[in-house]
Amino acid sequence: MNQIKTIEWRNDSLILIDCRELPMKEEYLVCNNYNTLAMAIKNLAVRGAPAIGVSAAYGVVLASIEAKNRDKESFVDYIKKAILELSETRPTAVNLFWSLNRMDNKLNTLLSLNNEDIKKELLKEAHKIYNEDIKTNIKIGIYGNEVVDLNSNIITHCNAGALATAGYGTALGVIRAAHKDNKNIHVYVDETRPLLQGSRMTAWELLKEGIPSTLIADSMAAHAMKLNKIDMVIFGADRIATNGDVANKIGSYSLSIVAKEHNIPVYVAAPISTIDPNISSGDDIPIEIRDDREIIEFHGVQTAPNEINVYNPAFDITPSHLIAGIITEKGILRPPYKLSIKKALEF
Q: CB-hemisphere CA count at 13 Å for 285?
A: 32
CA 294 to chain centre: 19
Q: Could you count the other beta carbons within 10 Å of the beta carbon of residue 41?
A: 23
The yes-or-no answer on residue 292 being catalytic is: no
Angle 242-342-97 from CA coordinates, rounded to 5°: 55
Q: Which residue among 133, 190, 238, 245 is the active-site one? A: 238
Q: CB-hemisphere CA count at 13 Å for 72?
A: 9
Q: Is 245:320 a contact under the CB 8 Å cutoff?
A: yes
Say whether 223 sits in a helix, a strand or coil: helix
Say whether 150 sits in a helix, a strand or coil: coil
Q: What is the CA radius of gyration of the chain?
A: 20
| DSSP conformation class of 111 | T
Q: Write b or e for each residue in 71-99: b if 16 or more Cβ atoms lie within 10 A of its Cβ, otherwise e.
A: eeeebbebbeebbeebbebbbbbbbbbbb
Catalytic residues: 238
